[in-house]
Amino acid sequence: MTSPRAPRLAGHLIVECLVAQGVTHVFGVPGESYLAVLDGFHAHRDSIRFIVNRQEGGAAFMAEAAGKLTGRPGVCFVTRGPGATNASIGVHTAFQDSTPMVLFVGDVASDQRDREAFQEVEYTSFFGPSTKGMAKRVERVDDPDRLPEAIARAFATAMNGRPGPVVLVLPEDMLTRPATAAPLPRVEPVEAWSDPGALRRLRELLLAARKPFVIAGGGGWTPQAAQALQRFAENWKLPVGNAFRYQDTFDNHHPQYAGDVGIGINPRLAARVRESDLVLAIGPRLGEMTTGGYTLLRPPKAAQTLVHIHASAEELNRVYQADLAINATMNAAARSLEVLTAPPELPWADWTAAAHADYEANLVPQPLPGDIDMAAIVAVVNRHLPADAVLTNGAGNFASWVHRFHRHHGLAAGHKTQLAPSNGAMGYGVPAGIAANLLTGRTAFTIAGDGDFLMTGQELATAAQYGAKSVIVVVNNGMYGTIRMHQEREYPGHVHGTHLANPDFAALARAYGWAGAKVTRTEQFEAEFAAAMDRSQGTVIEVLLDPEIITTRGTLAAIREAAQQRQG
């Protein structure tokens, strides 16, 4: 039992509870609905930092990035109505990316509910929870002395099973009432261990296989779990691919690495997954992007023998009927797998070597027209970034350049190095990179598209205010490139709604107190990037890319021509 404390505002108790849970940084946009909490942050400013963002979407993205980096819930505070709806993009990202996060929403006063009061929203309906919603749990706290219980439950819910976001709704009048409760102790996630019988069955399936393949990813990985996964793969000589935007799960330099299984997949890797006779999916939920629109593995029963290991029992057999489903957290699963005894000889050595050779061959770029060679630019980034740098991106074809050509050392080397939204949220990369530098002090590099950057570029003001540094490469092709690509494929030559008239990104960066540079030719980039790495403040490097260069493999003209031929 924790002893009661002297009465203080409920808003102060919330901050005490966050400190007890080990939270050091909170992201948000202030609102009159939770002034008492802001006063609590002021009272505890030596223990916890409230980072003031410029828009709630950026705040929620930063909190989601914190959850990915630390494995514990990132925390975001927003006000009611528009503040909560703005933040919903980060909540949705946390849900689909299986990231622990807690969103606190200051709400209308209790005596004003259900009258469509100013900015009133019914949050359970808006955020879920459901398998198609945005949050694992939505809870309103009306009793100030139950705040420790609610906050501890929110942290436990966010971390246990399949990690994800929780929303806590805080009535404005409740926050100003006296509270005597004490914070509860720090909550730790519960480990779910693999069933020994299932492990024996898995070993039997491995021994019967001739072309096995591992897909690793999803939430809940730690460096220790990644190291155990690597030992398991080495013991059994298995080829390993990383799920979409979880490319730091398995070391990309490892001789058994086969590449990323996601958008823009290496065609040879896609063929290999289809050809496999045993797929071990360790951690990913096997969504649309990782399965190539549910074609690499066809639901409900894949042609390949499927072993699905996931932290959530509810996720197993929900889309795919697995031949073997194992409910285990990644730490427990990987540690169970690494002690699974392999025979002295395995029949798939050539299969694994060929998978890695295909990956290495895919690192050789196709020749493309124009004055900017994006593969060469990524090569420069690779040379200059330290191994523990955090790479971030939002959504768009521009991200495929780092997905294909950057090589992560992976979590097994001790650090999470990729922050990217598997739900395809535009605008994620800029705030995620800023949060990464604030939280870890490590080098942060962001690649953004022109449209992507303008979703959350105002968070450069947040970075300048708190002394955060990241290096942002804005790939400017004057359009929403991914949509234009699909437009040309489906309606060739009918260009509408995808053109962008952009600002001078370098000048915009300077207006925020950052450095800005513009690159029009490949050979200009290395000097600008090296200078950016040496600066104390952040830098935006605008790269003017020929609009024809639409993917790492081809041009808009080629897509248009193919579509026109297909349509007769």
Does the pLDDT of residue 358 top 80, yes or no? yes
Q: Which CATH class is domain 374-566?
A: alpha beta
CATH architecture assigned to 8-177:
3-Layer(aba) Sandwich (3.40)
Whether 459 and 52 have beta carbons less than 8 Å apart is answered as: no
User: What is the value of pTM for the model shown?
Assistant: 0.96
The mean per-residue pLDDT over the stretch 427-456 comes to 98
Q: Is the pLDDT of residue 317 over 80?
A: yes
* Rounded distance between C-alpha atoms, residue 86 and residue 27, angstroms: 14
pLDDT at residue 118, as a whole number:
76
pLDDT value at residue 130: 62
- Specify the DSSP element, H or E, that contains 438: helix 429-440
- When mean pLDDT is compared over 30-44, 104-118, 484-498, the highest value belongs to 30-44
428 against 134, higher pLDDT: 428
* Cβ neighbour number for residue 327 with a 10 Å cutoff: 21
Architecture of domain 196-362: 3-Layer(aba) Sandwich (3.40)
Provide the pLDDT for residue 131: 61
Residue 35's CB is within 10 A of a number of other CB atoms, namely 17
Over 60: is that where the pLDDT of 1 sits?
Answer: no
Dist. CA 456–CA 449, nearest whole Å: 11
Least confident of 48-52, 108-112, 131-135: 131-135
Question: Domain ranges in the chain?
Answer: 8-177, 196-362, 374-566
Question: What pLDDT score was predicted for residue 116?
Answer: 78
Range list of β-strands (E), 6-152: 8-9, 25-28, 49-52, 74-78, 101-107, 137-140
> For 388-407, what is each residue's pLDDT tens digit?
999 999 999 999 999 999 99
pLDDT band at 4 (very low <50, low <70, confident <90, very high): confident
For the stretch 153-191, pLDDT in tens is 999 999 999 999 999 999 999 999 999 999 999 999 999
Same fold, 8-177 and 196-362: yes
Q: What is the pLDDT of residue 125?
A: 87
In percent, the amount of the chain with pLDDT more than 90 equals 91
Integer angstrom CA distances of residue 291 from 244, 281, 321, 424, 426: 9, 11, 14, 15, 21
DSSP string of 155-223, one letter each residue: HHHHHSSS--EEEEEEEHHHHTSEE-PPPPPPP-PPPPPPPHHHHHHHHHHHHH-SSEEEEE-SS---H
